[in-house]
Amino acid sequence: MNEVEPQKNPYWLLQPLLLAVMLVVGFLFGIYFQTSNETQVIRSPHTQHLSSYHKLGEILNFVQTKYVDSVDIDHLADVAAKAILKELDPHSYYIPRKEAEAVTNRMQGNMDGIGVEFFVFKDTVYIIDFVPGSPAAESRLKKGDVIMYINDSLVSGVNRELYEIVDFFRGPESSFVGIDAVCSISGEEYSVELLRGPIPLSSLGASYLVEEGLLYVKINSFTSRTYREFMEAVEEYSSPESGTNLILDLRHNPGGYLQEAIKILSQFVAVSGKPLVRTKGASTIERTYRSTGRRFFNMDKIVVLIDGASASASEIIAGVLQDLDRGVVIGHQSFGKGSVQEHFVLNDNSAVRLTVSQYFMPSGRGIFKNELAQKVSQQDLEKFSTPNGRYVTQGQAIVPDILVEPDSLFSHANFNQTLTVVNRLAFSYFINNLSFIESPDFYISDSIIPENWLNDLLLLAESQDEKQLIVDFYDNDSPRLYSFLKARLGRFFFGDDVYFQILNETDPVFNAAIEVIQNGEIAGILRSRR
């Protein structure tokens, strides 16, 4: 984005004044407050501030009626709203109308479409997966097939931008989308017409049995569907009679609905009425969330994996289990987002995400992170005690019971750029071996990846810089890079569960969790003072 030159932009001088717009829209005329289950209108009770609101309204009126040039009031309102929320804290922000619906859909775990996932390789659009139960999954479309036309618009062989292809798939609910495709195995051309509709988006990244009695579940975010999806995964791999050990992977999980995290926590606590989380804010009623005591499965040993991108609801689960001496936390220090945001929908359907309170764990500590605490030694921090007498601290987010250095793969400075090239190579191997997809005995083995895979990877790099990044990555940790290539290939063939099964084999954090469970170290860790 180019920098704005003040002398050439007539809006620049007005921006400080136009911070009024959001307040005028949001508070003078009322706002909608949306929870996960209901929407109600809230009007500001602070009538003593009405003069300020009127002042802001006057400024807006002057800009609209007196300014020398015509102005885009909607655009200026968005600019003003973003500026106002930016002044508060990093977690309060404004969501423009065009983005608000998509944000709500993600939080609700839904989207409109046909449920197809595609990959563009060498200017060709390939189908790589489907959302289970979606119109696309129930159609003739198959993995690896080429999409030539979407609603009579050519999409393969014409250098389409990714957003263009996505836009072709989009449309009103209950409208039809026509697809002309080619079977990659037989070469047969065919057409399908699919009805767009609501598509459920899973909040789970993966779930599978590591070994008998040990379940791995990765949660990507906490949407309105997370508790149900978590329980379905537990039900698939566990029985109410026998105990199950659990590795709960919350790495790179930014959080989401608090209620979903609370319901999951209740499955780990046997007694009813146990305080789990307390929320407190200057303008909100203090509230304590307690366990229900209604457990449907017997979870025995629990290990939670976190990293620097684990935030909010992820930190709550890790922190509560730590404070109750119920589970061991492994990984790296979490993000430190110890506050509650509520979602307010404005009259024009834009929205505000506003910080309204803070979280407090069962020990009484907050889970926020501050710069001062980062510079203080662990011994000098304020200490809180768990039931077993372990010390936990405040101000450094969630500090794991077992610290493991971040995965070299994902902590690499140029991971995303390298990921793009690795994806290309994995996909090329997928297409070249597509005939195996119909074999019931096929599985991802080392034999499917050529010994000269590094040379193949370098050939797919589009610049000298990309080649150098790959070489640096390879020199730093070649086994992990190979594991990632194999995992991506596994995902193209079999989906996310296989992707994480392969990737976890060489993941140091995951392997630390396995060691703690298999060696019976959890009880000792939960009794030790830190």
Phi/psi of residue 199, each to 5°? -115, 120
* DSSP 8-state assignment for residue 386: -
Q: For 457-502, write each residue's pLDDT tens digit.
A: 999 988 888 888 888 888 888 898 999 999 999 999 999 999 999 9
Per-residue confidence band for 6, with pLDDT thresholds at 50, 70 and 90:
very low
Q: Return residue ranges of the chain for CATH 3.90.226.10.
A: 204-405
Per-residue confidence band for 440, with pLDDT thresholds at 50, 70 and 90:
confident
Q: Among 99-103, 229-233, 402-406, 427-431, whose mean pLDDT is lowest?
A: 99-103
Per-residue confidence band for 19, with pLDDT thresholds at 50, 70 and 90:
very low
Query: Ramachandran region of residue 74, left (φ > 0), alpha (ψ -120 to 50) or beta?
Result: alpha
| Strand intervals (E) in 346-442 | 351-360, 383-385, 391-393, 402-403
The percentage of residues in the chain with a pLDDT greater than 70, rounded to a whole number, is 86
Between CA 516 and CA 301 the distance in angstroms is 10
Residues with Cβ within 8 Å of residue 193, at least 6 apart in sequence: 176, 177, 178, 179
- More confident: 227 or 104: 227
What was the pLDDT predicted at 4?
38
Between CA 330 and CA 345 the distance in angstroms is 38
Residue 27 clears pLDDT 50, i.e. is over it: no
Between CA 431 and CA 520 the distance in angstroms is 44
What was the pLDDT predicted at 463?
83
What was the pLDDT predicted at 396?
87
| pTM for this model (two decimals) | 0.84
The chain-wide mean pLDDT, for the chain, equals 85
CATH number of 204-405: 3.90.226.10
Q: Is 229 helix (H, G, I), strand (E, B) or coil?
A: helix
Q: For 233-290, write each residue's pLDDT tens digit.
A: 999 998 767 779 999 999 999 999 999 999 999 999 999 999 999 999 988 899 999 9
Per-residue confidence band for 14, with pLDDT thresholds at 50, 70 and 90:
very low
Q: For 171-217, write each residue's pLDDT tens digit.
A: 888 999 999 999 999 999 999 999 999 888 899 999 999 999 999 99
Residue 145 clears pLDDT 90, i.e. is over it: yes
Between CA 159 and CA 155 the distance in angstroms is 8
First to last CA, the chain: 48
Between CA 487 and CA 495 the distance in angstroms is 10
What was the pLDDT predicted at 292?
95
Instruction: For the beta carbon of residue 267, count every other beta carbon within 10 angstroms.
Output: 20
Which tokens belong to 104? Answer: 């709500």
What was the pLDDT predicted at 171?
84
What was the pLDDT predicted at 8?
40
Q: Return residue ranges of the chain for CATH 2.30.42.10.
A: 110-200
* DSSP 8-state assignment for residue 145: P
Rounded mean pLDDT, 218-233? 96
Torsion angle of the four alpha carbons 432, 484, 517, 364, in this order, in degrees rounded to the nearest 10:
-130
What was the pLDDT predicted at 97?
87
What fold is seen in the domain 110-200? Answer: Pdz3 Domain (2.30.42)
What was the pLDDT predicted at 106?
73
Q: For 28-39, write each residue's pLDDT tens digit.
A: 333 333 433 333
Per-residue confidence band for 100, with pLDDT thresholds at 50, 70 and 90:
confident
Cβ-contact 237, 244 below 8 angstroms: yes
Give strand pairing partners of 182: 146, 189
Residue 9 clears pLDDT 70, i.e. is over it: no
What was the pLDDT predicted at 371?
67
Cβ-contact 264, 228 below 8 angstroms: no
Q: For 147-175, write each residue's pLDDT tens digit.
A: 999 999 999 999 999 999 998 998 888 99
Between CA 139 and CA 177 the distance in angstroms is 12
Sign of the alpha-carbon torsion through 502, 298, 513, 376: positive
